[in-house]
Chain A
């Protein structure tokens, strides 16, 4: 079915609840429904297997309008269906939870609840997701009238409150991991309840790296934001900047020249290679395979120097400008890229052999954390994690954008769904990327590098989706016709993939957890936060504060 047919099918599905249909652009259908009908409408879409829930965006229409809007974006191929639910801003803005129908929605709903002040009825977890625990009640950062002064910490509360008890009872312990831990570069806090060695429960606390970029974007102009969004993530900075500029270009109705699109794809391809090699190294380090870590990071330097040669920077390349790119691929760069790719390809083939034949490594990966196809669909997984379970979730293939129309790629899938499959998928994907990049370099279209984009972007809404190294990246942009954006919402792929880790850790050995999280080391440097200290048989309960004081005194000697 093509996009038009898909959208018509969606319209037919929603006919009972649809109050108003809008077609903002050929690939999108907006359906206005009431909050009471939301569950029924979602159920209908879910039952008909129409796409997947990609993101939920919350919009505050401002105190004058007195309304807020929740947008439920469903994606199917390149068709995007948006359910728009309006609620009054002053009242509690109750919206029913759809997490029972679509489990991954719970993360999005928690975000909606704490950022905009929607009340999600029937949500099973009302804990904070991103904001600190000492954040004042009824202050919502994404509301238009939010002032930073309102966010002063509530006295007597801590920014991240941990449970006071470390012992649950009997043989069951809570093992806290993070936010400072040896290997993962990102701070996240995990609590694994273990019975002996077996994990019986998993909890997660995010928000240590929550900086409030979406809010900051509203006070900066369109071109400043390009550099802000590049710094959402230092590993996939190009894809963030690209998704943002693609959205702005859609709003401004500007066509990017083919040469610029091709260079964007080339940089995205190089970024994928650097990101996957980085991941391979870190994941191997988790398995205790440091040799592979060192080798893959050595080879990653080849990509880094190529990126530097093309864009001038190793990380946060700033290859994009609104309306095109700012770096040219001359004969010299083309030659360097091809030479680099030849070397990398041979190395990637070698790594593919290592991860599928090394017995020690296979013991840590084969048959562990297996996610079936059905589970992958249910959890709403994205990117390589989904593709390892045979689920094709690849925006480059499903809804080609930019240069992928001219230089198509094929999706790499595996069927086993275990950790080994995730290694294999990522490495095979790199071979595909190398092939595509070589084609791009050989067939670079001629023409200008960029076109002019106006300083003020016309009013409207745009959605841009693209395939980041970790999965689908989703940007929603809204302009009021000014120099600054009215709202930008980012949904990163990792948020969707967390569910799988937490679900799959239960029942496994604690030692598998780091491999499952693929980037977290079980060297519990954080063990000093254990609240029970057993000394020669007798147990002594220490509070966090006592323990902390003890630590300071002990080590200051």
Chain B
């Protein structure tokens, strides 16, 4: 027998998930990318690929964002800023790593100013490989995230030795 409180909580969660699935707001962070992925992300927003039809919108402030879209290998200067941007986002928050550099450092692996993969700094939900990934791949990445959210089977990957203050969902 459900108590009244639990009942309402379930309803609210359902409504929240429904709303979230239909209006994902993303914030973009360039952690030292070559711009290749960044322009492909912008291309997905514009009329030809038009992710706004899924309710996905790129906007400026991490405070208003659900998803952090990261591009590029993490350079030493960008590392701290990436962490800060992530911390500034309200819960629940998701991370999509776009491009080979975010996954392994890509062609820049081993460079003196490059730290390596994004998941060594912040937990990542979806990886989109490619150098750069096509806009279709970026859309697929978003849809992967939406599918996971819908089924509630979200998995985060984090390799960092010092976990951020985040409690992993």
Contact = CB atoms under 8 A, between A and B. Distances in A.
Given A179-B78, A210-B77, A297 B62 contact: no
Nearest to B105: A211
Contact of A521 (B60, B77, B88): B60
Contacts of A548: 84, 87
A209 B42 contact: no
B34 to A, nearest CB: 4
Given A185-B38, A211-B32, A316 B132 contact: yes
A235 B132 CA distance: 11
Given A158-B80, A315-B40, A548-B84, A215 B112 contact: yes
Contacts of A556: 91
Contacts of A232: 34
B140 interface: no
Interface stretch (B3-11, B14-22, B43-51): B43-51
Contact of A208 (B39, B81, B87, B134): B81
Contacts of B36: 231, 234-235, 237, 315-316
A210 B37 CA distance: 16
Contacts of B31: 187, 208
Interface residues of A, number: 61
B53 interface: no
Contacts of A237: 34, 36
A360 interface: no
A536 to B, nearest CB: 22
A73 to B, nearest CB: 25
A25 interface: no
Nearest to A308: B134
A298 interface: yes
B158 interface: no
Contact of A213 (B42, B88, B111): B111
Contact of A187 (B30, B37, B61): B30
A227 interface: yes
Contacts of B29: 180, 187
Nearest to A213: B111
B112 A151 contact: yes
Contact of B61 (A160, A294, A525, A552): A525
Contacts of B131: 231, 316
Contact of B88 (A160, A523, A555): A555
A523 B77 contact: no
A138 to B, nearest CB: 15
A266 B75 CA distance: 34
Contact of A209 (B30, B40, B106): B30
Contacts, number: 171
Nearest to A217: B111
A288 interface: no
Which range contains the number of B residues in contact with the other chain?
35 or more
Residue from the set B30, B48, B113 with the largest chain A CB neighbour count within 10 Å: B113
Nearest to B48: A301
Contacts of B102: none
B153 interface: no
Contact of A211 (B35, B75, B91, B134): B75
Interface in A489-538: 521, 523, 525, 528
B46 A298 contact: yes
A314 B40 contact: yes
B123 interface: no
Nearest to B49: A301
B90 interface: yes
Interface of B: 27-40, 42-43, 46-48, 59-63, 72-73, 75-81, 84-85, 87-91, 106-108, 110-114, 131-132, 134, 165
Q: Nearest 5 pairs between A and B by C-beta?
A: A234-B36, A182-B60, A297-B46, A525-B61, A185-B38
14 contacts: A187-B32, A187-B81, A208-B30, A208-B77, A210-B77, A216-B110, A232-B34, A278-B39, A282-B42, A297-B43, A297-B46, A316-B34, A551-B88, A555-B91
